Amino acid sequence: MTARCLLLLGASGRLGATVRRTAPPNWRLDVPTRIELDLQRLASGDTGPLEARLAHAPPEVVLNTAAMAGVDACEVQREEATAVNALAPAVLAKVCARAKVPLVHVSTDYVFGGIGSQRTGPYAENAVQCPAQHYGATKAEGERGVLDAGGRAHVVRLSWIYGSAARAFLDHVLGQVDGSGQAVAVFGAQRSRPTPATSVSKWLLALCDLLARGQAAPSILHPVSGPSASRNQWARAILDDQGHDQVPITEAPMQVRGFSKTAVRPVDSRLDGTATMRWAEQVGMPALLDWRDSPSSN
């Protein structure tokens, strides 16, 4: 069987690295480096390197996992965040539309959670964007640019991704366990949905396979893994999973043990994936691992 070509952007990132690791043999991954395909240059309208790549080895699908995902860094480095998260995806989508190549663009639950028409989740696929900080605002703008470009473009929103390449919250929780019985401090009020990186990577690859075969898919997708949770609930599950069931958890502000935050975090950015998961079941997409079955690894 001839392998299909997938152009994967952001392969060195938390999600992209997992996609690269889990890709089955029926996909041949084209993985440009940041030098080969500079998103800031793309944002400025320099489409030459991208168009040359599409012409040289035409992919069946483009999967964009690239982003400036540091929420606090985005608050400080606003121009770079806007270029990478907002402008580059729009240009990418236009080039893909002209080349008639399907595009899957990964976004985030952080396009929600600010002041808007719906102040609390869960947020359905068609909910009005209401970001709480610059990172969310740039990702929201990027979504609009992708969907306005025409072509076969799809936005996939994900939340609280965790796994071997995405350990920030896991390390924050487990790094506080010192054997003394001292409580682990987390910003417990924040609510969303943990998403296992390996499981959702396989789901994304299945979506790409479906698109490569010419099948249709919704323009906005919310693949969800188990029920929503607070940071407290997720931290409790992590500790129990690692054998630290006697370690207590305490509420903490965002500034705690080196976790000083510049940007506002949404208190409630839960995604409602009812429509997405119903569609996914109908077309035979793989089921996602329930995060509660593996809350600290996947």
> Per-residue pLDDT tens for 52-104?
999 998 999 999 999 999 999 999 999 999 999 999 999 999 999 999 999 99
Q: Show the domains of the chain with their CATH numbers.
A: 4-166+194-227+269-290 (3.40.50.720)
Average pLDDT over residues 237-243: 94
Residue 227 has pLDDT above 90, yes or no: yes
Contact between residue 133 and residue 71 where contact means Cβ atoms under 8 Å apart: yes
For the entire predicted model, the pTM comes to: 0.94
Can you tell me the distance from the alpha carbon of 250 to that of 22, in angstroms, rounded to the nearest whole number? 36
Give the list of residues 6+ apart from residue 153 with CB closer than 8 angstroms, or none.
93, 96, 97, 102, 103, 105, 146, 147, 219
Residue 246 has pLDDT above 80, yes or no: yes
Q: Which of 110, 123, 135, 162 is catalytic?
A: 135
> Per-residue pLDDT tens for 10-58?
999 999 999 999 999 999 999 999 899 999 999 999 999 999 999 998 9
Can you tell me the distance from the alpha carbon of 295 to that of 18, in angstroms, rounded to the nearest whole number? 17
* First-residue to last-residue Cα distance in the chain: 29
Q: What DSSP designation does 126 have?
A: T
Q: What DSSP designation does 253 have?
A: -
Residue spans of alpha helices (H) in 213-273 = 231-241
Residue 277's pLDDT band (boundaries 50, 70, 90)? very high
Q: What is the pLDDT of residue 254?
A: 55
Residue 258's pLDDT band (boundaries 50, 70, 90)? very low
Q: What is the pLDDT of residue 166?
A: 80
Contact between residue 232 and residue 248 where contact means Cβ atoms under 8 Å apart: no
Q: Average pLDDT over the chain, rounded to whole?
A: 93
Strand, helix or coil for residue 81: helix
Residue 1 has pLDDT above 80, yes or no: no
Burial of residue 35, with CB atoms counted within 10 A of its CB: 0-12 exposed, 13-18 middle, 19 or more buried: exposed
Residue 206 has pLDDT above 90, yes or no: yes
Element (H, E) at 8: strand 4-9
**Nearest residue to 248 (alpha-carbon basis) of 170, 172, 176, 190:** 176
Q: What DSSP designation does 286 have?
A: P
> Per-residue pLDDT tens for 125-138?
999 999 999 999 99
Q: Which amino acid is at 135?
A: Y
Q: What is the pLDDT of residue 77?
A: 96
Can you tell me the distance from the alpha carbon of 4 to that of 212, in angstroms, rounded to the nearest whole number? 8
Can you tell me the distance from the alpha carbon of 282 to that of 139, in angstroms, rounded to the nearest whole number? 29
Q: Quick check: is 135 catalytic?
A: yes
